[in-house]
């Protein structure tokens, strides 16, 4: 099957970001992608430390746009993430919604691991995602005709137990939409993604934000599609747009049969 990851340079303008995402999703669908994945915060990338003015429910404009695109193009869409309103709480959730080709919601994942780090010594910024975001608590995956797809978001990639849990659910594909910091991305992005692919013998789809954003924030980009052997099938250039790759499930089956590591695990949990 053919998949696409969309690299974006989102800003703090929902209408502009939705227009850009719609264009890139259409382009990927026209090139034959059966599944298209968008990056973290694809519809709104805030200035660090500022409030989030556009939090929405699952019935809001952002999820409505995802449903319309999936239905129009008859494709699966992994909607990166958006800021989901939490009733009774000033904070939000960082939420990924997967949409089936008919426009129905297939899965909802709320980011579990929040990005509270200080990269100023590396020339970056300090981030306190937990000040504005409520962490999720549950894994999420969904079934498709081409296998189970597991969901995660950005900083989750540093926690391999999450992906092992998704592999235990039968995942063939792992999605990692991200807005990876430039300072960590240079040394960690590809290494971590290829490791998650190898240890779980899954295809990894990693759409990312790239470039300069409002408020001086810079994201690494280099969106990737990785195969279950850890080989990079597609890598985005340093600009917005979709990249596509063919994922051969029979090759994944051969890898898992020849090196049945998923069956050899003996540690509990």
Q: Give per-residue pLDDT as tens, 108-161.
A: 999 999 988 888 888 777 888 899 999 999 999 999 999 999 999 999 999 999
Instruction: Return the closest-CA partner of residue 5 out of 176, 142, 145, 202.
Output: 176
245 in Cβ contact with 233 (< 8 Å): yes
pTM of the entire predicted model: 0.96
Instruction: Return the closest-CA partner of residue 138 out of 150, 128, 147, 148.
Output: 150
pLDDT average, residue stretch 14-43: 98
Confidence of residue 267 (pLDDT cuts 50, 70, 90): confident
Confidence of residue 49 (pLDDT cuts 50, 70, 90): low
Helices (H), the chain: 14-30, 61-73, 160-168, 182-184, 190-200, 249-258, 261-264
**Rounded-to-integer distance, Cα 103 and Cα 86, Å:** 24
Query: What is residue 162's predicted lDDT score, i.e. its pLDDT?
Result: 98
Kindly report the backbone phi and psi dihedral angles of residue 129, in degrees, each rounded to the nearest multiple of 5, phi listed first: -60, -35
Query: What is residue 48's predicted lDDT score, i.e. its pLDDT?
Result: 66
Q: Give per-residue pLDDT as tens, 77-87.
A: 999 999 999 99
Q: What tokens does 129 get?
A: 């995602």
Please count the other Cβ atoms lying within 10 Å of the Cβ belonging to residue 77: 30
**Rounded-to-integer distance, Cα 140 and Cα 75, Å:** 19
**Rounded-to-integer distance, Cα 233 and Cα 215, Å:** 33
Residues known to be catalytic: 40, 111, 154
102 in Cβ contact with 58 (< 8 Å): no
Instruction: Return the closest-CA partner of residue 200 out of 175, 179, 220.
Output: 175
For the chain, the structural domain boundaries read 2-259
CATH superfamily of 2-259: Carbon-nitrogen hydrolase (3.60.110.10)
Coil, strand, or helix at residue 88?
Answer: coil
142 in Cβ contact with 148 (< 8 Å): yes
Task: Return the higher-pLDDT residue of 268 and 203.
Answer: 203
Q: Give per-residue pLDDT as tens, 211-235.
A: 999 877 899 999 999 999 999 999 9
What residues does 219 pair with on adjacent strands? 181, 211
Q: What does the longest C-alpha to C-alpha distance in the chain come to?
A: 52
Rounded (5°) CA angle 204-69-53: 85
Q: How far is CA 125 from the centre of its chain?
A: 22
Spell 172-199 as b/e; 16+ CB within 10 A means b. Answer: bbbbbbbbbbbbbbeeebbebbbbbbbb
Query: Is beta strand 171-175 parallel, antiparallel or unpaired with respect to 203-206?
Result: parallel
């Amino acid at each position: 099957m053919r998949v696409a990851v969309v690299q974006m340079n989102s800003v703090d303008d929902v209408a502009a970001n939705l227009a850009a995402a719609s264009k890139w999703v259409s382009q990927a669908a026209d090139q034959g992608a059966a599944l298209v994945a968008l990056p973290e915060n694809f519809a709104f990338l805030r200035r660090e430390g500022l409030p989030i003015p556009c939090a929405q429910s699952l019935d809001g404009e952002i999820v409505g746009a995802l449903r319309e695109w999936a239905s129009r193009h008859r494709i699966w869409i992994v909607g990166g993430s958006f800021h989901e309103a939490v009733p009774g709480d000033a904070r939000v959730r960082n939420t990924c919604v997967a949409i089936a080709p008919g426009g129905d919601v297939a899965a909802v994942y709320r980011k579990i691991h929040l990005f509270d780090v200080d990269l100023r010594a590396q020339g970056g910024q300090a981030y306190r995602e937990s000040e504005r975001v409520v962490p999720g608590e549950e894994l999420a995956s969904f079934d498709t005709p081409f296998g189970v797809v597991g969901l995660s978001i950005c900083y989750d990639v540093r926690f391999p137990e999450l992906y092992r849990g998704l592999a235990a659910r039968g995942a063939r594909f792992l999605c990692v939409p991200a807005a990876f910091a430039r300072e960590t991305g240079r040394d960690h992005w590809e290494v971590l993604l290829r490791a998650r692919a190898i240890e779980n013998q899954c295809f990894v789809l990693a759409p990312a934000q790239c470039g300069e954003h409002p408020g001086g924030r810079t994201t690494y980009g280099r969106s990737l599609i990785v195969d279950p052997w850890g080989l990079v099938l597609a890598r985005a250039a340093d600009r917005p747009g979709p990249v596509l790759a063919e994922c051969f499930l029979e090759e994944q089956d051969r890898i898992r049969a020849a090196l049945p590591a998923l069956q050899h695990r003996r540690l509990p949990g």
